């Protein structure tokens, strides 16, 4: 029963993220250029550590759902951008919380070390070979509450 509930929750998260991804990608080019010129910020108001934790949890849940559904690292960027946008983060690629959250999601999905290595290599390559990306993903995977 618990597995069924988890499956239903993952389907809901995946559908929700997909719809957010669609609406985020259908925005105007002036909106995207405006947000790309901003630096990485979290939403104003409230406790920033709680905001960062909520963002990391959403990234974790998204990455877990993506890994469990067999999506590749190259397919998750639009969904990650949508998650970040909901949290007021405009430069998610430069935010360490994103990468730790992805690692936590892979751990939550019970992904094997081969999957973690594949995702880390692909995402680090997409981010111009930044070694910290791989290290942060691995940190989140090894210690999901880091």
CA distance linking residue 74 with residue 82, whole number of Å: 15
The string of pLDDT tens digits covering residues 36-67 is: 333 333 334 446 788 999 999 999 999 999 99
CA distance linking residue 32 with residue 60, whole number of Å: 24
What is the DSSP annotation of 62-127?
A: HHHHHHHTT--GGGSHHHHHHHHHHTT-S-GGG-HHHHHHHHHHHHHTT--HHHHHHHHHHHHHHT
pTM of the model: 0.66
The string of pLDDT tens digits covering residues 110-134 is: 999 999 999 988 888 777 655 689 8
CA distance linking residue 108 with residue 91, whole number of Å: 25
3-state secondary structure of 44: coil
Could you identify the residue written with the tokens 């930044």?
130
Say whether pLDDT at 106 is over 60.
Answer: yes
∠ CA(74), CA(12), CA(57), 5° rounding? 65
């Amino acid at each position: 029963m618990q597995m069924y509930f988890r499956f239903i929750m993952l389907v809901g998260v995946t559908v929700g993220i997909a719809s957010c991804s669609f609406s985020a990608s259908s925005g105007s080019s002036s909106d995207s250029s405006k947000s790309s010129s901003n630096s990485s910020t979290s939403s104003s108001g409230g406790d920033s550590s709680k905001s960062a934790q909520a963002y990391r949890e959403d990234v974790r849940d998204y990455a877990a759902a993506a890994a469990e559904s067999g999506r590749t690292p190259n397919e998750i960027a639009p969904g990650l951008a949508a998650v970040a946008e909901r949290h007021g983060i405009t430069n998610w690629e430069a935010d360490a919380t994103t990468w730790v959250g992805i690692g936590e999601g892979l751990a939550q999905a019970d992904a094997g070390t081969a999957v973690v290595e594949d995702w880390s290599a692909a995402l680090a390559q997409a981010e111009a070979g930044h070694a910290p990306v791989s290290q942060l993903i691995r940190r989140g995977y090894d210690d999901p509450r880091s």
